[in-house]
């Protein structure tokens, strides 16, 4: 990390994106420029004017000209460096992985190309990612300090930005407004291969399949088979065989109809109704399955005679 930024942040901020180093360089340049000006103006001039052997007028003028020239060169260097970083940030590389971002009342919402919507931000390492910020009824900013990334999103205006993470790990994502717990989250940058695995996992089955087929695919891909069967044999959980024509007795002595709502509740909130004779060990699939996939599961489960 740059020396000056390390000083400013207490050395806590890793350079976790491809922009980080050049942004830090610009930061250094500004800092050293300020230091230079400070030395020049306070030190140099006072020495020139009241030093023990103050130079003659001609020499003094020349010295001041050199000083001004050096300052000009620094300003130009600063401009070139800044413009380079800025230009780099404007041009989204082709093939960047697109993620749509919105800030809603309940916190961040990230929409991945497969249509999956979640409050978690997962990113691949060493691959460019393109963010599309959806403008809404309030302005907000999207800031990941470790990436040296800060994107202001104006009222009702969409905006695009990109970044290439270069370090795996978890990094803070914040917004300048409304710093509630839900808006300060951790961005997860997956190590090589980890992102593809995560993405495949959330991608699940093709959501355009007919409901029963979609449900069957989902049943296999989402790991329901670890605990359920379709042939009547019991595993950790009940078999789905004859689901629609069976009476479902619960641990509290009541019974429940085999409706779509019941299946949906079982998937999202498995402990709300626990089937008699089984342990309440089913994990919730909340946030992992879209409604259309749950509807497919219900259609499939009810179709099993």
Task: Report d(CA 282, CA 279) in Å as an integer.
Answer: 8
| Residue found by looking up tokens 């078999």 in the block | 239
- Shortest Cβ distance from residue 297 to ligand HEC (Å)? 5
Q: What token pair was written down for 299?
A: 């259609």
What stretches of the chain adopt beta strand conformation (E)?
A: 97-104, 107-111, 117-118, 121-124, 129-133, 140-144, 149-153, 159-163, 169-173, 185-190, 248-249, 255-256
**274 is an interface residue for ligand HEC by CB under 6 A:** yes
- Shortest Cβ distance from residue 131 to ligand HEC (Å)? 30
Closer Cβ to ligand HEC, 36 or 262, answer by number: 262
Sheet holding 185-190, edge to edge: 121-124, 185-190, 169-173
Closer Cβ to ligand HEC, 267 or 304, answer by number: 267
Q: Are 123 and 188 in contact (CB under 8 A)?
A: yes
**270 is an interface residue for ligand HEC by CB under 6 A:** yes
Closer Cβ to ligand HEC, 162 or 285, answer by number: 285
**238 is an interface residue for ligand HEC by CB under 6 A:** yes
**237 is an interface residue for ligand HEC by CB under 6 A:** yes
Q: What token pair was written down for 131?
A: 């963010």
**278 is an interface residue for ligand HEC by CB under 6 A:** yes
CA 143 from centre of chain: 10
Going residue by residue from 197 to 236, which x/- string records binding to ligand HEC, judged by CB under 6 A?
-------------------------xxx-xxx-------x
3-state secondary structure of 281: coil
- Shortest Cβ distance from residue 119 to ligand HEC (Å)? 20
Q: Which residue stretch of 76-84, 87-95, 170-178, 269-277 sits at the interface with ligand HEC (rule: CB under 6 A)?
A: 269-277
Task: Report d(CA 275, CA 256) in Å as an integer.
Answer: 9
Query: Contact with ligand HEC (CB under 6 A): which of 156, 281, 284, 287?
Result: 281
**110 is an interface residue for ligand HEC by CB under 6 A:** no
Query: Contact with ligand HEC (CB under 6 A): which of 192, 280, 286, 287?
Result: 280
Query: Contact with ligand HEC (CB under 6 A): which of 71, 248, 295, 303?
Result: 248
Q: Which residue stretch of 39-47, 119-127, 131-139, 272-280 sits at the interface with ligand HEC (rule: CB under 6 A)?
A: 272-280
**266 is an interface residue for ligand HEC by CB under 6 A:** yes
Angular region, 242: left φ>0, alpha ψ -120 to 50, beta rest: left
Selection from 198, 200, 212 nearest residue 292 by Cα: 212
* DSSP structure class, residue 224: G
Interface positions with ligand HEC (CB under 6 A):
222-224, 226-228, 236-238, 248, 263, 266-267, 270, 274-275, 278-283, 285, 297, 301
């Amino acid at each position: 990390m740059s020396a000056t930024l390390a000083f400013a942040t207490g050395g806590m901020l890793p350079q976790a994106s491809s922009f980080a180093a050049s942004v830090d360089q610009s930061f250094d340049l500004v800092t050293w420029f300020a230091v230079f000006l400070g030395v020049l103006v306070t030190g140099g001039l006072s020495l020139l004017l009241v030093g023990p052997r103050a130079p003659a007028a001609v020499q003094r003028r020349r010295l001041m000209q050199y000083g001004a020239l050096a300052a000009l060169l620094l300003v130009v260097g600063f401009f070139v460096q800044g413009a380079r970083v800025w230009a780099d940030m404007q041009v989204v590389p082709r093939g960047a992985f697109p993620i749509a971002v919105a800030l809603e009342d309940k916190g961040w919402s990230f929409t991945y190309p497969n249509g999956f919507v979640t409050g978690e931000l997962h990113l691949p390492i060493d691959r460019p990612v393109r963010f599309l910020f959806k403008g809404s009824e309030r302005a907000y900013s999207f800031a990941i300090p470790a990436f040296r990334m800060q994107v202001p999103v104006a009222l009702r205006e969409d905006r695009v930005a990109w970044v290439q993470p270069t370090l795996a790990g978890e990094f803070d994502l914040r917004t300048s407004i409304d710093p509630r717990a839900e808006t300060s989250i951790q961005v997860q940058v997956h190590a090589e291969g980890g992102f593809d695995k995560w993405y495949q996992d959330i991608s699940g089955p093709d959501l355009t399949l007919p409901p029963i087929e979609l449900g069957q695919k989902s049943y296999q891909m989402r790991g329901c088979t670890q605990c359920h069967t379709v042939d009547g044999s019991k595993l950790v959980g009940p078999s789905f065989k004859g689901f629609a024509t069976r009476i479902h007795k619960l641990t509290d002595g009541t019974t429940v109809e085999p409706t779509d709502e019941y299946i949906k509740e079982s998937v999202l909130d498995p402990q709300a109704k626990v089937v008699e004779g089984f342990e309440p060990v089913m994990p919730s699939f909340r946030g992992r399955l879209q409604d259309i996939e749950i509807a497919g599961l219900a259609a499939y489960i009810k179709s099993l005679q």
